[in-house]
Structure 1
Amino acid sequence: MSGVVAMLVAAWVLVGDSPARGTDLGDVQQHSSVLGNPNEPDAIITSRAMFPTSRSVVLIRDDAPPEVVARSAEAAVKRRVPLLDVGPTSIDPVKRELARLGAGTAEAVDPATIPDVGIAVAGLAGRAGPASAAIAEPTLVLISGGPGSAAAVATASAAGATGIVVSSNDLRASGDAIDFVKRHPGARVIGIGGQFGTPKLLTSRIDAARTLPELPGGGYTVFPGRRMVALYGSPGSPALGPLGRQNLSQSIARAQRLAASYQPFSKEKVIGAFEIIVTVASASPGIGNKYTNVIDPSAILPWVIEAGKAGVYVTLDLQPGRSDFLSQAKIYTELLKYPHVGLALDSEWRLKPNQVHLTQIGSVAAAEVNQVSDWLAALVRDNHLPQKLFVLHQFDSDMLANRDQINTSNPELAVMIHADGHGTPPVKMSTWNRLTTGLQPGIHMGWKNFYTEDQPTFSPQQTMAVRPAPWFVSYQ
């Protein structure tokens, strides 16, 4: 905690076009900050944070092709000077930054493509003056993944900092960023762009990242660092799936053997997993006329604890009947605080009033899914947890109503559509193709193999040959 106290954050949120307003480099070098101005490229903001002066710079067009960006970045880092991207709408901000730096010369891969910025632009063949002084203390610069992020990363690197692109507004979505703050507890952290929130929020996330536990298999985000192969079912209930057909230690060993059988067909590490049905759909009304049986969390706790010790991921599966998903999820709050425990919503078993199981197929609206998603994301944030797997079961298009409205933007969650279709290979593939059509960005796909209802059951090689290759495979 002392490192966090030493990193009390001061904010400079740049407004308007003035590069001087709200910035004092001496202060920036002593604190972690959030710097943002929608009217300026990220590379200019990074340059202002990193370089008091620089007699030269490297310039690129803001629409330069990747190979030009790569060559320009290499040159800027080698010379320890800023790399600034310039286009029709950023000429004036670049001119102001060149004046602030005191830059008299510039280099470019193709000088003829660079707009007039008020100084001479030479080719990369010659040196553009002496290198700028590199910063001495560890510094992390967080950069959004938008246009110009490569130039901002190069500018940070040229100054001796570590520039990392974070695709969301939370540094905990980047394993590299987490590793950095863990290895450098006294480092400066600068967020380039308002998407990183207030200084207080950034500080809290730095604090959380320093103590963040790793997931089974390593890292802090669920995918793409691993794939999972899971036993599905409920402890002590053989009829519900293979997870309940042996004791806890035997189930762990079985899940690990299944995962190992997939490893030859995946370049990512494959880990064993449990998908435990914790609320079980019931044929009878039961307590409160809800058509669901709730398993006491204390009965599931040993499975969670021992799975975690063995490096096995656990997903808690809800079959709520006439209840709702959020109410049932909250029953298992304490289990979901474990870093290796995710959540699955089994929409087939979400009934409307007056519906009964096996007479109607259940469904859930996007609004209810989003309520659970927001609650689970807050649980992750508040308890300083790594990203959680959030599974949505589906085999019929009506099961997830308004699927395109499901929120996939919470960085705390890895959202998955799990295809539950069974039957012959053509039937399974028809279900798969239907579910993957029109899939939102940010959604991963899961696949289920059935031991008795598939004709025949796909082998690990056949399963991994499906496209897109599933990130999560369960066995029922």
Structure 2
Amino acid sequence: MNRNKFIWRIFIVAAVLLITYVIVKTILIRSSKKTPTELVQYPKTPPSPPVAGVSKDTSMVQDTARYNALLLHLAHEQPNNKWPVKAEYPLQGALLPYHRIVAFYGNLYTPQMGILGRKPADSMLAQLTAEVEKWQLADSTLPVIPALHYIAVTAQSNPGKDGKYRLRMPGSEIEKVLQLADSAQALVFLDIQPGWSSVQEELPLLKKYLLLPNVHVGIDPEYSMKNRRPPCTTIGTMDAADINYAINWLDTLVQTNHLSPKILVVHRFTEGMVTNYKNIKPLPTVQVVMDMDGFGGVAKKKGSYQYWIAGQPVQFTGFKLFYKNDIDYGGHLMEPAEVLELFPQPVYIQYQ
């Protein structure tokens, strides 16, 4: 009997200890929980979704503080409701706005299309180097990179065998430009003047070259003849859908092949050359430059830039200077300091 009482007492003590342990643990758990005001505050803007083929390691993230500072620099430290343009940050390796690009434009077959085909290679590259140095002196904030902007698909007055009013440059000519660029440590832009063809038809044919890290793209709405008239008889046009096709095609190229972001230059000097500009969607993999492509007097060039480039913002801006036509049509060749007064400052400068 005494043994049974002893066992019973042990059972009661064990039960009390167990109940005490449960109560104390419950109190501790509840006291450790944070109230809503104590919860971690996450950024209002969620992180970007992962991009296929690109590491999400923080070493791949751009210096966003410098990026923002340079955009303000381009806006003369006076941002407004249009500039800087609000867009996603680019992936690592993006050239803009960390640099300014100074390009020579043309085609090796003819001097009529620009400075690129007007002089022997050595003197042409020496002149490009001199222009780069002038721009670097004018604005030391942005390192200046030389470029060769080569018309790889030229609009023609002759319809050709397929009736498309365009001529594709042979690979041997494109290779010459690539070799020149290598010797000058320059970028290359392959430009498309579609004629009666289209960006959708022509761009994929340049894939071999666009896989190279220093090769980018230009497209020219002036010679996109959707009205089915011969080039140079009227000014052509492209829609945001055409430009977005190029952006999305380049995006796939960059992601699939683990490339740095590509630059897409779109030439423009009238309202009708680009329709539905608000629908153009740059991506972290593709940086879009709207390039003021008109020639003539300074006031006319500035007006075209103000209305159709700065006034209809997409992402970055460019400005073309004509060695011959700007002077022949009542103006002068604008100096870097004059161009840098534009709002916003262009990051892409092209000489024709």
> 1:94, CA displacement in angstroms?
4.7
Where does residue 268 of structure 1 map in the other structure?
Answer: 142
> 1:367, CA displacement in angstroms?
0.9
Q: Give the aligned residue type for 2:38.
A: K
- Determine the C-alpha separation between the residues in 2 that align with 1:437 and 1:239: 29
* Ranges in structure 1 where 5+ consecutive residues have no aligned partner: 1-90, 99-142, 149-192, 212-218
Where does residue 171 of structure 1 map in the other structure?
Answer: none
> 1:250, CA displacement in angstroms?
3.6
> 1:320, CA displacement in angstroms?
0.8
Where does residue 190 of structure 2 map in the other structure?
Answer: 316
Where does residue 155 of structure 1 map in the other structure?
Answer: none
- Determine the C-alpha separation between the residues in 2 that align with 1:337 and 1:262: 29
> 1:371, CA displacement in angstroms?
1.1
Q: Give the aligned residue type for 2:313.
A: Q
Of the three residues 318, 329, 333, the one matched with 1:446 is 318
Would you say the 8 A contact 1:308–1:340 is kept in 2?
Answer: no
Instruction: Classify 1:275/1:95 alpha carbon distance in 2 versus 1 (closer, same or farther; 3 Å).
Output: same
Would you say the 8 A contact 1:347–1:394 is kept in 2?
Answer: yes
1:206 aligns with 2:89: no
Q: Deviations over 1:185-231 (max 9, x none)?
A: xxxxxxxx563338xx4xx31299999xxxxxxx7112111101111
Would you say the 8 A contact 1:279–1:317 is kept in 2?
Answer: yes
Of the two structures, which has the highest relative contact order with CA contacts closer than 8 Å and spacing of 6 or more?
2
Would you say the 8 A contact 2:150–2:177 is kept in 1?
Answer: no
- Determine the C-alpha separation between the residues in 1 that align with 2:249 and 2:188: 19
Secondary structure at 1:196 match in 2: coil
Instruction: Classify 1:210/1:253 alpha carbon distance in 2 versus 1 (closer, same or farther; 3 Å).
Output: farther
Where does residue 52 of structure 1 map in the other structure?
Answer: none
> 1:436, CA displacement in angstroms?
3.3
Measured on the aligned residues, the alpha-carbon RMSD in Å equals 2.5
> 1:354, CA displacement in angstroms?
2.6
Where does residue 234 of structure 1 map in the other structure?
Answer: 107
Going by fraction, where is strand more abundant, 1 or 2? 1
- Determine the C-alpha separation between the residues in 1 that align with 2:149 and 2:126: 15
In the superposition, the TM-score normalised over structure 1's length comes to: 0.56
- Determine the C-alpha separation between the residues in 2 that align with 1:209 and 1:332: 33
Instruction: Classify 1:309/1:284 alpha carbon distance in 2 versus 1 (closer, same or farther; 3 Å).
Output: same
Instruction: Classify 1:357/1:207 alpha carbon distance in 2 versus 1 (closer, same or farther; 3 Å).
Output: same
Of the three residues 328, 332, 336, the one matched with 1:456 is 332
1:95 aligns with 2:38: yes
Larger radius of gyration: 2
Identity of aligned residues (%): 27
Instruction: Classify 1:413/1:97 alpha carbon distance in 2 versus 1 (closer, same or farther; 3 Å).
Output: closer
* Ranges in structure 2 where 5+ consecutive residues have no aligned partner: 1-33, 61-91
Where does residue 296 of structure 2 map in the other structure?
Answer: 423
> 1:466, CA displacement in angstroms?
2.0
- Determine the C-alpha separation between the residues in 2 that align with 1:245 and 1:446: 22
Instruction: Classify 1:449/1:206 alpha carbon distance in 2 versus 1 (closer, same or farther; 3 Å).
Output: same
- Determine the C-alpha separation between the residues in 2 that align with 1:320 and 1:97: 54
Q: Deviations over 1:265-311 (max 9, x none)?
A: 11211121111011111011112111111101332123224413532
Where does residue 473 of structure 1 map in the other structure?
Answer: 349
Q: Give the aligned residue type for 1:242.
A: I
> 1:334, CA displacement in angstroms?
0.8
Instruction: Classify 1:437/1:207 alpha carbon distance in 2 versus 1 (closer, same or farther; 3 Å).
Output: closer
- Determine the C-alpha separation between the residues in 1 that align with 2:145 and 2:116: 16
> 1:368, CA displacement in angstroms?
1.5
- Determine the C-alpha separation between the residues in 1 that align with 2:124 and 2:59: 33
Secondary structure at 2:103 match in 1: strand
Secondary structure at 2:288 match in 1: strand
In the superposition, the TM-score normalised over structure 2's length comes to: 0.74
Where does residue 303 of structure 1 map in the other structure?
Answer: 177
Q: Deviations over 1:436-462 (max 9, x none)?
A: 344335x10000011122111111221
Aligned pairs for 1:218-233 within 5 A? 220-233=93-106
Would you say the 8 A contact 1:256–1:271 is kept in 2?
Answer: no
How many residues get paired? 283
Q: Give the aligned residue type for 2:209.
A: L
